[in-house]
Structure 1
Amino acid sequence: MFTRRGVLLSSIAGAVVLSNRFAVGKAAQPATPVNFEVPADACDCHTHIHGDPEKFPFFAGRVYTPELASPEEMAALHKALGIKRVVIVTPSIYGTDNSATLFGMKARGSDARGVAVIDDKTPESELDAMKAAGIRGMRINLATSGVSDPAIGKQRLLAAIERMKTRGWHIQMFTNLPLVSAIKEVVASASMPLVFDHFGGAEARLGLDQPGFADLLDLVKAGKAYVKISGAYRASTQGPDYPDAAPLAKALIAANPERIIWGTDWPHPDSVTPPGRKPTDVTPLYQIDDGRLLNQLAVWAPDAAIRKTILVDNPARLYGF
């Protein structure tokens, strides 16, 4: 369903080939104009920076290796989309090293916020420094780390809540609906905002009755969780307009528009290493048309006031813009 580059582009001037034969490709840029008026101070709430691995080394235990994606490419993306603000999330390829995220945030100045990945070895002094730089949340990634045991997921969430209870950060989770059901009561009683990535892990092909989706809707309706209607291509099997994801998005928005935020998931990494290749082999980025992706928000939320809530008001409240 996706158009991927068959080969990686050669590095600039053909001169830079890193020790792992990492060639510099180009992240996607919008091909379709946005067909609605994007409100002032709109925010893309889910992006990543993939820096030069000589400056920002990848985590040795990563499960995939993406092409690079720079702050300059991200700025071009948002200029084309008419989006001012951005939230940069540390991807699993860096483990608990948030340097590339902070690098990207610095390039965007006051228009950027970040979500970091930490562990129990991350000192409080480092958290203080990251807060001063604009980090506003921590991410628990259970999807690409292979965690499927609800007990383990619940334990990690409880530890995160304990760590964050006096810091004022939110907790963001990349997970699946069975785990959402398993941690529903923990989320409902948490003292800080909880945010679920990418439709909470819902699969569009399974519809509104899939196990766990009702629990996700309950949390949203009660104001106990935010959901990112981000990276629709992850939930959908019907690109490039993702019509099968529309019922999920509409149901989440109807449950509580004040707990929905939107994001591209740029630069659209493919987090699954193809069979026969190693995690250290470079996997091309998906070539997603983010103009066409943003246009789906007008389908999911036809009312301009609700789009402003999703694109401006909710991110401003959650990330402290």
Structure 2
Amino acid sequence: MTDPRNPGPAPCPHPPAVPLPADSCDAHCHVFGPTARFPYAEGRPYTPPESPKEDLRALHRVLGFERAVLVQPACHGADHSALLDALETSSGRYRGVALVGLDTSAAEVQRLHDAGVRGARLNFTPHLGPAPAREEIDRIVALIRPHGWHLALHVAGEGIAEHADLVRSLKIRVVIDHLARVDLHQGLDSAAVRALLELLATGSVWVKLSGADRLATRPPSLADALELARLLAARAPERVVWGTDFPHPNTNGFVPNDGDLADLIAEIAPDEAARERLLVTNPAACFDFPDRALQDR
């Protein structure tokens, strides 16, 4: 039985009003199943409907994305088989973000790297399980640093302010997921937003301008989340990326049309050069995509 918090994506996504540049990257999305081949983990924190790689590719054809970063979901746990299958069949157009822990070996990290994984995610959101201890974080950083991976940080509410000192202490690129999922009921001058801006100013922190639907205080309007995304893009245009979060797990009721989300891109990056940076140049640098000429061979 599926989790009622996970109804699946909205039907009939529409193309964005402003076409995306070539090699645009959806920097945060997921694949779920198919469970006949890739079963969900026992004891998983949620059970979404299946959304295999074919569904993701169909969405990307509509929206105009040619590249993507697939983030390992908690419902698949430490079994990366579905993610690796999608990477293997992507002709170098996908990168991955893994779930790495104390029991992950250096050999496993090497295997994931060879398959196209370029980051490890830390969840500090209670609905996805207990937060990692500092010992585990240090172990993960030691495992992934030799490969040049980034550390993805998933926080919510006041989390980015609470963990700001941790982020500063990490001698590795950190990518904050989903606009840090700050509480926009507190406005853009909250402690969480100030902490996010201060971290962005360090030069080693990136932010995914994804999950606008998660932050919006009056959905289906996404205006306040868009305002935050534009603020972050203006502060550090060279260290922001954009993603759909397809197929939108743990939505708590509101599921956006992915075409509506993609229409926000032109409002965040209103000129062609800005969109090229947000969707092509920045993701290539952050996630180690191959040169276009090499990819097309």
TM-score for both structures, normalised by structure 2: 0.88
Distance 1:266 1:286, change over 3 A: farther
Q: 2:267 aligns with which of 281, 299, 310?
A: 299
Give the aligned partner of residue 69 of structure 1: 51
Aligned counterparts of 1:175 and 1:153: Cα–Cα separation in 2: 15
Q: Does 1:313 align with 2:281?
A: yes
Q: Does 1:269 align with 2:249?
A: yes
Give the aligned partner of residue 124 of structure 1: 106
SS in 2 for 1:263: coil
Aligned counterparts of 1:166 and 1:297: Cα–Cα separation in 2: 34
Distance 1:105 1:46, change over 3 A: same
How far residue 136 of structure 1 moved from its aligned partner, in angstroms, is 0.4
C-alpha distance after superposition, 1:278-307 (max 9, x if no partner): xxxxxxx96431111110121222232122
Give the aligned partner of residue 87 of structure 1: 69
Consecutive unaligned residues of structure 2, counting only runs of 5 or more, are 290-297
Aligned counterparts of 1:87 and 1:99: Cα–Cα separation in 2: 15
Consecutive unaligned residues of structure 1, counting only runs of 5 or more, are 1-19, 273-284
Map 1:42-53 onto structure 2 (within 5 A). 42-53=24-35
Q: Does 1:174 align with 2:142?
A: no
Q: Confirm or deny: 8 A CA contact 1:28 1:286 kept in the other structure.
A: no
Report the more deviating stretch, 33-42 or 255-264. 33-42
Aligned counterparts of 1:130 and 1:217: Cα–Cα separation in 2: 32
Give the aligned partner of residue 93 of structure 2: 111
Q: 2:118 aligns with which of 136, 145, 151?
A: 136
The count of residues paired between Structure 1 and Structure 2 equals 285
The one-letter code of the counterpart of 1:108 is S
The one-letter code of the counterpart of 2:288 is G
Q: Does 1:165 align with 2:145?
A: yes
Q: 2:200 aligns with which of 198, 209, 220?
A: 220
Map 1:275-290 onto structure 2 (within 5 A). 287-290=255-258
Q: Does 1:145 align with 2:128?
A: yes
Q: Confirm or deny: 8 A CA contact 1:66 1:269 kept in the other structure.
A: yes
Aligned counterparts of 1:186 and 1:230: Cα–Cα separation in 2: 22
Distance 1:126 1:155, change over 3 A: closer
Q: Confirm or deny: 8 A CA contact 1:46 1:86 kept in the other structure.
A: yes
Aligned counterparts of 2:232 and 2:277: Cα–Cα separation in 1: 14
How far residue 182 of structure 1 moved from its aligned partner, in angstroms, is 3.2
The one-letter code of the counterpart of 2:112 is M
Give the aligned partner of residue 190 of structure 2: 210
Give the aligned partner of residue 279 of structure 1: none
C-alpha distance after superposition, 1:160-208 (max 9, x if no partner): 3233232311110111253322332332343321011111121232211
How far residue 157 of structure 1 moved from its aligned partner, in angstroms, is 3.5
The one-letter code of the counterpart of 1:88 is L
How far residue 241 of structure 1 moved from its aligned partner, in angstroms, is 4.2
TM-score for both structures, normalised by structure 1: 0.82
SS in 1 for 2:147: coil
Q: Confirm or deny: 8 A CA contact 1:241 1:292 kept in the other structure.
A: no
Give the aligned partner of residue 218 of structure 2: 238
Aligned counterparts of 2:254 and 2:70: Cα–Cα separation in 1: 18
Q: Confirm or deny: 8 A CA contact 1:36 1:298 kept in the other structure.
A: yes
Report the more deviating stretch, 182-191 or 172-181. 182-191
Identity among equivalent pairs (%): 35
The one-letter code of the counterpart of 1:114 is G
Distance 1:271 1:28, change over 3 A: closer
Q: Confirm or deny: 8 A CA contact 2:183 2:215 kept in the other structure.
A: yes
Distance 1:26 1:66, change over 3 A: closer
Q: Does 1:248 align with 2:248?
A: no
CA radius of gyration, larger in: 1
The one-letter code of the counterpart of 2:128 is S
Q: Confirm or deny: 8 A CA contact 1:29 1:290 kept in the other structure.
A: no
C-alpha distance after superposition, 1:21-66 (max 9, x if no partner): 99xx874455333111311110001111100223222122222100
Report the more deviating stretch, 32-41 or 65-74. 32-41
